Amino acid sequence: MPFTHYILTILAALGLALPVAVTAQVQSAPKLLVVISVDQLSADIFAEYRGKMTGGLARLQGGAVFPAGYQAHGATETCPGHSTILTGSHPARTGIIANLWADPALTRADKKVYCAEDPNVAGTASGSGQYEPSVKHLLVPTLGDLMKARTPAAKVVAVAGKDRAAIMMAGHGADEVLWLDARSGLTSYRDTALSPTAVAAGAAIARAVATARPALDLPVQCAAHDIPVPIGPQKTVGTGRFARDPGTFRAFLASPEADGAVLAAAAALRAGYRLGEGAQTDLLIIGLSATDYVGHSYGTGGSEMCLQMLALDREMGAFFKALDATGVDYAVALTADHGGHDIPERNRQNALPAAERIDASFSLGTMADKVADALGLPKPLFIAEGGDLYLNRSLTATQRIAAQAELVKALTGHRQIAAALTGDALAAMPLPTGSPASWSVAERMRASFHPQRSGDVLFALKADVTPIAEAEAAQPGRYVATHGSVWDYDRRVPILFWRKAMASFEQPNPVMTVDIMPTLAALIGLPLVGVAIDGRCLDLVAGAASSCP
């Protein structure tokens, strides 16, 4: 299939393809802020493809370019990352320490907590389809919340591939918060009626999901990536073309179609809410999740990511053209919730022989039982979630300290573990400041540590260790690559700002995603008095003047 603009197909179905152009009256504050998160768009992928861009990502490179942005914290996952973008704060302050954590005190049987759920609703569990979507764990206001507090007429609308992306960027009082859904195309919080625009956009997406898609042609720019890489005896990645059977929602999500669908919905919502047409500044939040699903499913080095990057650029270009045609004076900020890295199998082929998967023998359960037996402690000794271990609550204070010491010793004894620390040690550290490039591993972990939500013991894997064992990665349909580590390949993301006619510049030194919120607040003259944040305003004016207060 040749280059298709999925966004245009859906926009045409909604009768929104070609709005009439009007001349924009450029004012001091833009009338619309468009904030885009591209899930798992690492600084490395951006560096690899930025020269090949001709669409939306080429346009944004004509603005203020920060190629060394940092999701500075250690838990480089989707929910914490999205929580930093429009709050100006590290996960330690936003409270979103991970996608999932454990709360042994929960009354429900499932002690795991999903970052974007209300676990106190009866009959829920943290698993997909069983939880009640909620923003209650986000402990701080978002830019949208502050805009609405100052100007109640300000409108805030969010649409994303994932609920946690939309929810964490939208905040507590958005007008509409939407994410992709297998059945209805788009959905929102339970018992929330969708706007007519969202219903129509969702129906168009559901029709797209129900339609089969032929394989994409491989453009010449991707030819060098088209090399098969075996993972175990039955699975190969690296040469995919995104052919899809009708009704296959999961395959839809992990393909360029999904971002086109979300961008089409965003354009429709812009029109439906008349965003940018009032006296105030409005906020349109967009979470593009396909890059992440593609990275998890195929790694970052094959034909699949190449096709995804070219499509992302193209779809975003079409979206900006549709925005241009409305005449609304808009400003764009684009970043990612975390970086990512390639599968060890391809990394080993490409001059990184140390890349490996977690040892098949690595078992936290075995370690728990061993330590419990050695110290005469109750089992299970802890609940593990990611790199956080939550000790059994029946332990006495003395037993707890002994268990922590023994677990730190056992963890640091493993050849693939870089660091193990107690929660108490992290709690005693101040939040790190200064350049995130020079933070220690413990400082990175501190920036996504919260004393009420993080574990009693935390650990980090060494660099170039993928925490998906080969036996799991080799299974059909299972993820082969991931992110979440404390290492820079997972922390570094591009940060781009663009507005019509702005003078372009590039700042290669590190900045942080927590800087985005104060930067945008300054752009619209929103004072941040009495709001505690970790970021700083980035001056977007190339000359001597400044966009910061």
Q: Which is nearer to Zn ion, 282 or 292 (CB)?
A: 292
CB of 458 to Zn ion, least distance (A): 20
Give the H or E element holding residue 346. helix 344-349
Query: By C-alpha distance, which of 137, 50, 66, 45 is closest to 98?
Result: 137
CB of 338 to Zn ion, least distance (A): 5
What's the CA gap between 535 and 433, in Å, rounded?
A: 10
Establish if 490 lies at the interface with Zn ion (CB under 5 A): no
Give the count of beta carbons closer than 10 Å to the beta carbon of residue 17: 18
CB of 165 to Zn ion, least distance (A): 7
What's the CA gap between 485 and 494, in Å, rounded?
A: 18
Per-residue binding string, Zn ion, 155-194, x by CB under 5 A, is ----------------------------------------
Distances (CA, A) of 129 to 102, 123, 176, 506: 18, 12, 20, 43
CB of 168 to Zn ion, least distance (A): 11
Among 44-52, 115-123, 330-338, 493-501, which window interacts with Zn ion (CB under 5 A)? 330-338
Residues between 34 and 53 with contacts to Zn ion, criterion CB under 5 A: 39
Q: Which is nearer to Zn ion, 78 or 84 (CB)?
A: 78
**Rounded to a whole number, what is the distance in angstroms from the first to the last CA of the chain?**
50
Helix (H, G, I), strand (E, B) or coil at 224: helix
CB of 203 to Zn ion, least distance (A): 27
Are 486 and 418 in contact by the 8 Å Cβ rule? The answer is: yes
- Nearest-CB residue for Zn ion: 78
Q: Which is nearer to Zn ion, 142 or 326 (CB)?
A: 142
Q: Which of 78, 84, 197, 326 is catalytic?
A: 78
Q: Which is nearer to Zn ion, 134 or 291 (CB)?
A: 291
Q: Which is nearer to Zn ion, 39 or 132 (CB)?
A: 39
Residues between 395 and 424 with contacts to Zn ion, criterion CB under 5 A: none
What's the CA gap between 511 and 48, in Å, rounded?
A: 20
Residues 6+ apart with CB under 8 A from 160: 37, 166, 169, 178, 179, 180, 262, 285, 286, 287, 288, 289
Residues between 267 and 296 with contacts to Zn ion, criterion CB under 5 A: 292
Q: Could you give phi then psi for residue 531, rounded to 5 degrees?
A: -110, 115
Q: In the annotation, is 78 catalytic?
A: yes
Q: How is residue 543 annotated by DSSP?
A: S
Per-residue binding string, Zn ion, 61-90, x by CB under 5 A, is -----------------x------------
CB of 431 to Zn ion, least distance (A): 23
What's the CA gap between 433 and 80, in Å, rounded?
A: 18
Q: Which is nearer to Zn ion, 84 or 326 (CB)?
A: 84
Q: What is the largest CA-CA distance in the chain?
A: 76
User: Residue 67 corresponds to which amino acid?
Assistant: P
Binding residues with Zn ion: total (CB under 5 A):
4
What's the CA gap between 334 and 134, in Å, rounded?
A: 24
Residues between 334 and 353 with contacts to Zn ion, criterion CB under 5 A: 337
Per-residue binding string, Zn ion, 112-131, x by CB under 5 A, is --------------------
The owner of tokens 């929104």 is: 16
CB of 432 to Zn ion, least distance (A): 22
Binding site for Zn ion (CB under 5 A): 39, 78, 292, 337
| Residues with active-site annotation | 78
